Amino acid sequence: MFLKAVLRTAALIPFLYNAASAQTACNNSPSLCNRAYNNITHLGAHDSPFLRDKSTSFSTSGNQYYDSPTQLDSGVRLLTAQVHKNGNSSTGASQWHLCHTNCGLLDMGTLSNWLGTIKTWMDNNPNDVVTILLVNSDNASPAELGSEFKTAGIDKYAYTPPSLSSVPKQWPTLQSLISNNTRLMTFVASLSTPSSDYPWLMDEFTFIFENDFNNQSPTDYQCTPARPTSLNNSTSSAASSGRMFLMNHFLYNTGLFGIQTPNSDYANITNAQTGVGSLGEQLTKCTAVYNKPPTFTIVDFTNMGPAMESVDKANGVSGATGRRTLPTVALNEKVSGGPQTRGSVLAVVVAVVVAVAFGS
């Protein structure tokens, strides 16, 4: 009996070791635990909820092949989304939806439902810090956005900065955020009047600056700040402001009526470590400009490249743990078994006609 008990205990040792190892990793790596939040490059999914998959008939407006929880599984730690006000046809009441440019073009449902999926993921991954960046397209108030977070129950994880009007002298480490269970950073572009009632909703451009996001050629990328405009495109002003750098790194195609859609054809190079306009080379260039890597970089089609390799290199991370490896190919009818359509182009045209008709 004693021998059997010893053997059973010995058989459990590898599993106990793996569990303990996972617990020591912050955002998939032990080496990141004691680093400040702003001293890490966080991989971001641009327009995270807007999918180009079977569920959207492979809409050409979609920016990602995999949903937000799957993006998080693969190592993404920043999720961006556009928030629009959308009327409920049944009740006439307005709801806050995740819509790509226009709710007639691509509507991925309510903000609270999406936040709920992220909350579930965070419940199951207690050693991870997640950042959400919302584009406040229809000027939702802090109370309106805050209500969505409370409905989802995700506000319990929210980090509150020392001040809503100035950059902290020092951001907490990942381990500190994890230990305090304030593992959710939330930025909004933009909040004209941040609210002390919702102090965890941070105005993006108080804390962050961005390079230009409107790039159509692999040679278009710049490291100079485009927003906030108060920085006057000055890298020295951006650096001295103390803001964190968000590096946009994705391409657009311009089609009918000048409408832009995500460029999927070049994504494997856009998100690669090397090549003209590659993520790896641009991270290196911008690191040289600011003497530190960007705090965030956001890409379309995060599985392509794969983008995570360049971010790991920027962070000096090797042997990351607890990640899901995704195929580095585009989803289409052959990969997923669904029909690829161009129906979304008609939706774009309809959305534009409606917008013009109503003067929006």
Active-site annotation, residues: 46, 100
Find the farthest-apart pair of alpha carbons in the chain and give their distance in angstroms, rounded: 82
CA–CA separation, 258 and 352 (whole Å): 11
CA–CA separation, 43 and 130 (whole Å): 10
- One-character DSSP codes across 292-345: S--SEEEESSTTTTTHHHHHHHHHT--S--SPPPPPSS---HHHHSS----HHH
Neighbour count for residue 325 (Cβ, 10 Å): 11
Strand partners, 79: 45, 132
Distances (CA, A) of 17 to 21, 22, 24, 178: 6, 9, 11, 21
* 3-class DSSP string for 138-174: CCCCHHHHHHHHHHHCHHHHECCCCCCCCCCCCCCEH
Residue whose C-alpha is closest to residue 311's, from 322, 321, 299: 299
Distance of CA 229 to the CA centre of its chain: 22
CB of 65 closer than 8 Å to CB of 329 = no
Residue whose C-alpha is closest to residue 261's, from 43, 105, 151, 114: 105
| Sign of torsion over alpha carbons 47, 244, 178, 76 | positive
